[in-house]
Amino acid sequence: MVEKIKAELGAALGGVEIRETEYRERGYHLSCEASPGELLKAARFFDECGFYLAAIVCVDYREYLELVYIFANHSALCKTKVTLKLDPAKPAAPTLSAIFDCAYWHEREIREFYGVLFDGHPNLTYLFLHEGIDAYPLRKEQVLLADEDKKALGAFRPEEGEDTFFVNLGPQHPSTHGVLRVVLKMDGEYIQSAEPVLGYLHRMHEKMAENRSYLQFLPNPSRMDYLGAMSFNLGHVTAVERLCGIAVPDRANCVRVIATELNRISSHLLWLGAYLADLGALTPFLFVFDDREQINDVLEAVTGSRLTYCYFRFGGLYNDVDEAFIAGTKAFIERMRGRFGLYEKLVGGNVIFINRTRGIGVIEKERARKYAVSGPVLRGAGIAMDMRKAEPCAAYSEMDFEIPVGTRGDALDMYRVRVREMETALDIIEQALARLTDGPVMAEKVPKKLKPPKGDLYHTVETPRGELGIYIVSDESDRPYRMKWRVPSFSNLMIFPELARGNLLADAVAILGSLDLVIPEIDR
């Protein structure tokens, strides 16, 4: 696959040099530098080949800005990095939003944080910051301010017609499960358009990463996805370990898998309970939280936390697990396997639930690719893509498991995929427990100040919500020169306006809930 893409991409770009890279060290197989015209050709080429646009990253090298495009494939592991250099005084690039729908938001984000104008973009308004801010926060020359911006936002009142009106879903609405605001243009009870408004929880994690050492930044990832904190913690430590060439002991890798999968089940259980409550079914919520409490008790005993875990360390674990942890995990597995029948009776076979979710929020495979959705949303659309299989870290390469997929791509399929993923997670935990042998849980001689070699890396892990991509640029210091977090909820939310259009307001709640969004992860 790599050789085929290398030859065909080189021909499509008229002889541009396509370089092969060491995937283990860089996280991508091919790279090339393009001009604006060549970038559009490359995007069309990858679109025709069935690739998706995994991420767009901007890096400020002071002398120039560099746009980094990561193209990936669902069917075969082949990632290509295409870069475009820009003049920092007048940065401009062609938009890819007409080719890949996911570029629409990624380019808006780069516009507000770096000042890059994307020619042909339909709407370059700010996503996270308000329009009155006079700064590009991720530029290197931007001085960090102790005081917050005091400029007030202007009043906003959209124009309403005789038959249309606007409804604000959030930012305090319970069905958004966080401070997400969606401006809905309504025609009666039907939605004409939906516009998510982001930024209420924006905390500049990526700027903080540039001003902290790799070790100091360790608590931050678990504050992004607080429900899937283990996966974010795992992504951060494995990315830095990959950059530094740190080998983790087998026991630590197995414990990492166990803890991450327990947290995955916990996240899916919370989603299930909250989703059913949104749809009016309150009783299952109590059963779900009863099961989730047992996971929290097991993880709290070894990590000291019940939510924002920071358990993994560069080279291993904060501390080893004991026999009580193993016994508690086995007891939970036995209990949980007997609960799926109850959930099927309460939920999966419930006529009201089926009627509320079947045929609602349908995502076709092609739409899923164009928007670069991932996780259960992608698998619910029928695409068997899971980073634990495609790009395994820790001990996932040694685990044998099936990837559950849907057939219709509707909200009902999203439910069924997540339930089956909980069963799969139990299988993985059992395998990891069986492989758990005595030994150290920390690598030897891991320096207190990590200074990775100069270069970049795009690293991915599978979180409860999908593909987490971390792009790191190292300048050989103990701080990342650039650390970009490509979070799954951000990409998954992008498709919501299209799914909501033409549906009833009540169905929009069912669609939004089926995406399983975590707002601090989106806002970062």
Q: Of the ranges 141-150, 277-286, 347-356, which one carries the lowest mean pLDDT score?
A: 141-150
The stretch 278-299 carries a mean pLDDT of 87
Dist. CA 450–CA 218, nearest whole Å = 12
Dist. CA 191–CA 171, nearest whole Å = 18
Quickly state the pLDDT bin for 152 (edges 50, 70, 90): low
Rg of the chain on CA atoms, in Å: 23
Quickly state the pLDDT bin for 171 (edges 50, 70, 90): confident
The stretch 51-55 carries a mean pLDDT of 93
Q: Quick one: pLDDT at residue 157? A: 61
Q: Quick one: pLDDT at residue 35? A: 87
Is the pLDDT at 1 greater than 80? The verdict is no
Q: Are 329 and 429 in contact (CB under 8 A)?
A: yes
Is the pLDDT at 52 greater than 60? The verdict is yes
pTM for this entry = 0.91
Whole-number average pLDDT of the chain: 88
Q: Which residue has the higher pLDDT, 437 or 346?
A: 437
Quickly state the pLDDT bin for 144 (edges 50, 70, 90): low
Dist. CA 339–CA 325, nearest whole Å = 21
The stretch 295-313 carries a mean pLDDT of 89
Q: What is the pLDDT of residues 349-369, one digit of tens each?
A: 888 888 888 988 899 999 999
Distance of CA 233 to the CA centre of its chain: 13
Is the pLDDT at 8 greater than 80? The verdict is no
Q: What is the pLDDT of residues 440-458, one digit of tens each?
A: 989 888 888 899 999 999 9
Is the pLDDT at 6 greater than 90? The verdict is no
Distance of CA 465 to the CA centre of its chain: 6
Is the pLDDT at 439 greater than 60? The verdict is yes
Q: Which residues of 332-366 are buried (b: 16+ CB within 10 A; e: fewer)?
A: bbeebeeeeeebeebbeebeebeebbeebbbbeee
Q: What is the pLDDT of residues 457-498, one digit of tens each?
A: 999 999 999 999 999 999 999 999 999 999 999 999 999 999
The stretch 76-95 carries a mean pLDDT of 90
Q: Are 151 and 460 in contact (CB under 8 A)?
A: no
Q: Quick one: pLDDT at residue 162? A: 64
DSSP state string for 240-252 = HHHHHTPPPPHHH
94 vs 107, 125, 219, CA distance in Å?
Answer: 10, 16, 37
Backbone angles phi, psi at 73, to 5 degrees: -125, 140
Could you tell me the domains of the chain?
2-119 (3.30.460.80), 209-484 (1.10.645.10)
Q: What is the pLDDT of residues 195-251, one digit of tens each?
A: 888 888 888 898 999 999 999 999 999 888 889 899 999 999 999 999 999 999 999
Is the pLDDT at 321 greater than 60? The verdict is yes
The stretch 102-131 carries a mean pLDDT of 89
Amino acid at 240: V
Q: Quick one: pLDDT at residue 5? A: 78
Quickly state the pLDDT bin for 82 (edges 50, 70, 90): very high
Dist. CA 108–CA 117, nearest whole Å = 9
Is the pLDDT at 154 greater than 60? The verdict is no
Q: Of the ranges 145-149, 251-255, 281-285, 346-350, which one carries the lowest mean pLDDT score?
A: 145-149
The stretch 430-447 carries a mean pLDDT of 90
Locate the DSSP E strands across 125-272: 164-169, 181-187, 190-197
